[in-house]
Amino acid sequence: MSDQYQLRCRECGKTWGNIPRSFCEDCFSPLEVAYDYDSLKKTVRRENLAGRDFNMWRYAELLPLPEGFTGPNAVGGTPLVASRKLAAKWGLKNLYFKNDAVCFPSLSFKDRVVATALSAARRFNFTTVGCSSTGNLANAVAAQAAQQGFDACVFIPADLEPAKVLNTAVYGARIVRINGNYDHVNRLCAQIADRFQWGLVNVNLRPYYSEGSKTHGYEIAEQLGWTLPDNVVVPMAGGSLITKIAKAFRELVTLGWVEAKPVKFFGAQATGCSPISDGVKRNLARFEPQKPNTIARSLAIGNPADGPFAIKQIRESGGWAEDISDPEIVEAIKLLAETEGIFTETAGGVTAGVTQKLIAQGRIHPDETTVVCITGNGLKTTDAIAAEFPATEAIAPRLEAFEAYLDAQLGATAASAKA
Amino acid sequence: MSVTIEIPTAFRRFTGGAPKVDCSAATVAEALNQLTARFPDLGRHVRDDQGQIRQFLNVYLNEEDIRFLGGESCTLKEGDRVLLVPSIAGGSGL
């Protein structure tokens, strides 16, 4: 096989070629995609990127894509927003928001992982693809499956936010609602992948799927002028993204595309579902699973599959993990919108709010370069903040009515504005 | 108690292909011990060197992860199902 990559067991190191499987058949530990970096170093150059569009496929050689693959759509390539107002408010000199709230096509970073997973699904000749999902992943699978001609069947907790269900249904995907939380759904999907010949992106295609997350990290480095930040703050659900951003940075160092530099990784969770941050803070050998109870539904994974790796990554980098309450999440969503013009979903509120907490704790310093990863769009979780913005009274379409309205609303301020 | 242990496909080469194994046990720990006594090659895949259930193996009693039921000492009722499900993790190395 001419692939520059194959699956390798994290624990026993056995290699498996390229097959749709997420765990080693010998020792049942997780499989990951391993690359021939010596060979890549000779053939892949940073300069080659110059003529390519700014989306995730510009890093194709660093992804597990079949030979001759061409990206079917412009996934990724999202803005790195240099913060002015929040940076000033929080006293930071170099603060950035990596904004995957505007990721194409379904407005979350899950578009990246689904993109690599479906390239694997096609390679393995699956005609039906699916996932267990807290919402964003189902949206991404449904959208890209529709475009690429796969049948899609997604499994979600029955009580998911209506907007996320609608944003999946509209693409024609079959939606199976499960009476249970995400961890129940995920367990069922492990059993389904065991029984059916389906490409479940975050189950039997998981090694290929999770590699797509690396492009979030590549883009950060490239948008910082091929340098690495000092700190990255990442939301954690299953715990995969934070480890894959770290992998992306290590790869760029290995390839000589950026200079080596210590990067601290900070994980963000909601207090109502915080098994990973709890594991970091209490220095547990194994995290303790939790029953999720938070408005941050997209992070509500009580038994995070990559939790052990996320904890290790955070600890070894000298970073930390924190969690915030539901009211703090709502406040952070509003703060990010009011200061940076970025409307993020609850997970982004978690990340922004945790960043604020980490700064207050003195774990993130003013002179350092800090990147905060915003992974989903606020239009998907409007229910979580609707109560903050009650409908206002309507007025008559007359100038006097508006003046009266202004007087009532603003009092003296309005009076001076009129003058 | 007479209970059934459901075996994932990947483990069945250790159970002679059997997808289910019946046993009589009072706790999940007892059921797992009977399973691995009967199929010794399965033992190292169920427990690590310290005798703990392996980190990347999830064990369920009916619908619930046993870690929410007090761990493997949780007691069994007649007809209970014990599920073994390999954890789906990706991890990251270079």
Tokens of B74: 């949780």
Average pLDDT, chain B: 90
Of B55, B83, B94, the CB nearest to A247: B94
Q: What is the pLDDT of residue A224?
A: 98
A11 or A318: which leads in pLDDT? A318
Mean pLDDT calculated for residue range A146-153: 97
Average pLDDT, chain A: 94
Chain centroid, CA A235 distance in Å:
7
Q: What is the pLDDT of residues B40-49, one digit of tens each?
A: 999 988 998 8
Beta bridge mates, A128? A151
Domains of chain B and any CATH numbers: 2-86 (3.10.20.30)
Q: Are A298 and A346 in contact (CB under 8 A)?
A: yes
pLDDT band at A1 (very low <50, low <70, confident <90, very high): very low
**In A, which residues are within 8 Å of B68 by CB distance?**
289, 291
Q: What is the pLDDT of residues A84-123, one digit of tens each?
A: 999 999 999 999 999 999 999 999 999 999 999 999 999 9
pLDDT band at B82 (very low <50, low <70, confident <90, very high): very high
Interface contact flag, B91 A251, Cβ < 8 Å: no
Mean pLDDT calculated for residue range A42-50: 93
Q: What is the pLDDT of residues A207-250, one digit of tens each?
A: 999 999 999 999 999 999 999 999 999 999 999 999 999 999 99
Min Cα separation A188/chain B (Å): 9
The two domains A5-73+110-210 and A80-106+213-376 share their CATH topology (first three levels equal)? yes
Q: Which residue of chain B has the CA closest to A202? A: B88
* Whole-number Å distance between alpha carbons of A256 and A275: 36
A27 or A307: which leads in pLDDT? A307
A118, A131, A239: which is closest to A185 by C-alpha?
A: A131
* Whole-number Å distance between alpha carbons of A214 and A245: 5
Interface contact flag, B89 A206, Cβ < 8 Å: yes
* Whole-number Å distance between alpha carbons of A407 and A413: 8
Which CATH number does A5-73+110-210 carry? 3.40.50.1100
**In A, which residues are within 8 Å of B58 by CB distance?**
187, 303
pTM for this model (two decimals): 0.94
**In B, which residues are within 8 Å of A201 by CB distance?**
none
* Whole-number Å distance between alpha carbons of A201 and A17: 18
A40, A97, A52, A57: which is closest to A251 by C-alpha?
A: A40
* Whole-number Å distance between alpha carbons of A198 and B40: 32
Q: What is the pLDDT of residues A151-209, one digit of tens each?
A: 999 999 998 888 889 999 999 999 999 999 888 998 999 989 888 999 999 999 999 99
Q: What is the pLDDT of residue A25?
A: 83
Of B10, B83, B92, the CB nearest to A309: B92
Q: What is the pLDDT of residue B26?
A: 96
Mean pLDDT calculated for residue range A392-404: 94
Interface contact flag, B58 A187, Cβ < 8 Å: yes
Is the per-residue pLDDT at B90 higher than 70? no
Which CATH class name applies to A80-106+213-376?
alpha beta
Chain centroid, CA A277 distance in Å:
17
Question: How do the domains of chain A map onto residue ranges?
Answer: 5-73+110-210, 80-106+213-376, 393-419
Min Cα separation B94/chain A (Å): 7
For A95, counting Cβ atoms within 10 Å of its Cβ (0-12 exposed, 13-18 middle, 19+ buried), the class is buried
